Amino acid sequence: MANSASADTSSRHPVDQVLPLPRLGLLGLQHVLVMYTGCVTVPIVFGAAARLSTSTVGLLVSADLLVAGLVTLLQALGVSRFLGVRLPIVAGATFAGVTPMIMIAGQYGMPAVYGSMLAAGLFGLLIAWPFARAVRFFPPLVSGSVITVIGLSLIGVAAGLIAGNDPTAKDYAQPSHLALAAGIVVLIVAVNRFGRGILTQVAVLIGLAVGTVVAIAMGISDFSSVGHADWFGFPDPFHFGAPKFPAAAVISMCVVMLVTFTESTADMLAVAEATGKELAHADLARGLAADGLSGVLGGIFNSFLDTAFAQNVGLVEMTRVRSRYVTAVSGGLLVVLGLIPKLGALVASLPGPVIGAAGLVMFATVTAVGIRTLRKVEFEGTSNLLIVAVAIGVGMLPVVAGSIYHRLPDWFQTIAGSAITSTTLAAFTLNLLFNHGPLRAPRAAVPTPEYINS
């Protein structure tokens, strides 16, 4: 019997092999450490921009971790023929939704934020299978432009966390706060440059920890809300009240769902290549459907849209550990962390300059990833340079001139006022017209993106 079991294990693809329990636990924890900072930064940045209380942001952090854990479990283990790519994927909150959510919160209120997310999640579930076959309409030309603008549009949010949002306030851009943020950025750079192995993967987490200790010594931290938080608790469904569904908000979040699908598709293809596992259209569709479900869960439990985390894709490539049960353990750990409100309150209480410094590095990294993606685009003999220029220009308008659309209808402000939404619409439309439609140049050599196996 032992020989039979051994032969069965060896005949399985490495993705489907179950490692010894101690190794599973250690490797699963490593994945959590790598993605943790990126995951919790999203609710902190959104909460600060939406002017939510520290205790409320703590609830968002807990919900964020819980939903990320559930979606990670789905991606690793799968549910029948409908959900989960069954690859070592770790899901976490995407920055793509932050700016539109801030816009919606300011225009319509928090119930509309989570109502539109719920609607976008249902939209994602409906279009996951068609999108898996239409992914060629979202090549690096479109995704690279959008990812670049996602990072650029959030740098202002990081600056607000570091310096404050009221230039008339006495403590605005206080030199000590700027110095603290600069020191954290230098520390993150140093750890990345001189660290080895997992140290480089958790450089931002180290920066947050050291920065918080320094902030406590400077007297600019307040952890009073941690003492009032429970050790165990489940996120309240519809914490902000019954969801609302303004049409403009729903459209904006549905566009974000398409961006999320584009992000996840690229990462799933990368993981499939790294693990040597064939990725069929059906596999990709199940993975995208899990992202759609994150919108439904996020709308109910006040969380965020999830995508496959690129940093964990890099960890799979670095460690060469291909078992999906490793990330299943990661998902279980995230669920446990999400059920500890005191932890969410602790994260939400981190000082603004500390979070802002970490956010600055992370948002700029997102921009750099977008630029790297654009390197795959063929510019010679095509209209692609014009497409990128117009898409980024249109997307950045509301970032550099926040009130540019204030005389236009509210619905237009919600859609066009989001850098991510407007960039996506511009890049997708121009790519469709110039590279696939009647305006296509006769001699334009449009590159065929690496596609999935049927």
Q: Give the rounded distance of the alpha carbon of 306 from its chain centre.
A: 6
Give me the amino acid identity at 387.
Answer: I
Where b means 16+ CB within 10 Å and e means fewer, 67-83 reads bbbbbbbbbbebeeeeb
Q: Give the Cα separation of 433 and 273 in Å (integer).
A: 31
Percent residues over pLDDT 70 in the chain: 91
What number is the average pLDDT over the span 432-440?
79
Residue 28: pLDDT band (50, 70, 90) is confident
Q: Give how far Cα 64 sits from Cα of 59, 301, 362, 363, Å.
A: 8, 9, 18, 19
Q: What is the mean pLDDT of the chain?
A: 83
Residue 296: pLDDT band (50, 70, 90) is very high
pLDDT at residue 154, as a whole number: 77
Helix (H) / strand (E) element for 300: namely helix 281-301
DSSP E strand boundaries for 296-436: 306-308
- Confirm if 420 and 259 have CB atoms less than 8 A apart: yes
User: Is residue 324 included in any domain, yes or no?
Assistant: yes
pLDDT at residue 203, as a whole number: 77
pLDDT at residue 108, as a whole number: 92
What number is the average pLDDT over the span 56-69?
90
pLDDT at residue 263, as a whole number: 81
pLDDT (tens digit, 9 = 90+) per residue, 242-266?
Answer: 999 999 999 999 988 988 898 888 7
Q: Most confidently modeled of 121-135, 219-233, 271-285?
A: 121-135
pLDDT (tens digit, 9 = 90+) per residue, 399-408?
Answer: 888 788 888 8
pLDDT (tens digit, 9 = 90+) per residue, 373-405?
Answer: 899 899 888 889 999 999 999 989 988 887 888
Residue 442: pLDDT band (50, 70, 90) is low
Q: What domain range includes position 80?
A: 20-161+221-350+366-436
Residue 295: pLDDT band (50, 70, 90) is very high
Q: Give the Cα separation of 256 and 253 in Å (integer).
A: 5
User: Is residue 74 included in any domain, yes or no?
Assistant: yes
pLDDT at residue 3, as a whole number: 53
Q: Give the Cα separation of 452 and 279 in Å (integer).
A: 6
Residue 229: pLDDT band (50, 70, 90) is low
pLDDT (tens digit, 9 = 90+) per residue, 272-284?
Answer: 877 778 878 888 9
Q: Give the Cα separation of 384 and 371 in Å (integer).
A: 14
Residue with tokens 């693809």: 13
pLDDT at residue 445, as a whole number: 46
8-17, 41-50, 70-79, 111-120: range with lowest mean pLDDT: 8-17
What number is the average pLDDT over the span 146-162?
82
Residue 61 has pLDDT above 60, yes or no: yes
DSSP E strand boundaries for 194-325: 306-308
User: Is residue 142 included in any domain, yes or no?
Assistant: yes
Q: Which residues, in sequence order, are bridge partners of residue 306?
A: 93
233-237, 274-278, 440-444: range with lowest mean pLDDT: 440-444
Residue 453 has pLDDT above 50, yes or no: no
Supply the pTM of this predicted model.
0.76
Residue 128: pLDDT band (50, 70, 90) is very high
Residue 433 has pLDDT above 50, yes or no: yes
Residue 231 has pLDDT above 60, yes or no: yes
Helix (H) / strand (E) element for 92: namely strand 91-93
User: Is residue 70 included in any domain, yes or no?
Assistant: yes
pLDDT (tens digit, 9 = 90+) per residue, 312-354?
Answer: 776 676 667 788 888 899 899 899 888 988 877 777 777 888 8
pLDDT at residue 414, as a whole number: 78
Q: Give the Cα separation of 269 and 163 in Å (integer).
A: 39
- Confirm if 383 and 441 have CB atoms less than 8 A apart: yes
User: Is residue 168 included in any domain, yes or no?
Assistant: no
16-20, 74-78, 186-190, 260-264: range with lowest mean pLDDT: 16-20
H-assigned helices in 276-431: 281-301, 310-319, 324-338, 341-348, 352-374, 384-400, 410-416, 419-431
pLDDT (tens digit, 9 = 90+) per residue, 351-373?
Answer: 888 888 887 887 787 788 788 88
Residue 285 has pLDDT above 80, yes or no: yes
Report how many domains make up the chain: 1
Helix (H) / strand (E) element for 199: namely helix 198-201
Q: Give the Cα separation of 295 and 135 in Å (integer).
A: 20
pLDDT at residue 67, as a whole number: 94
User: Is residue 272 included in any domain, yes or no?
Assistant: yes
pLDDT at residue 446, as a whole number: 46
pLDDT at residue 348, as a whole number: 72
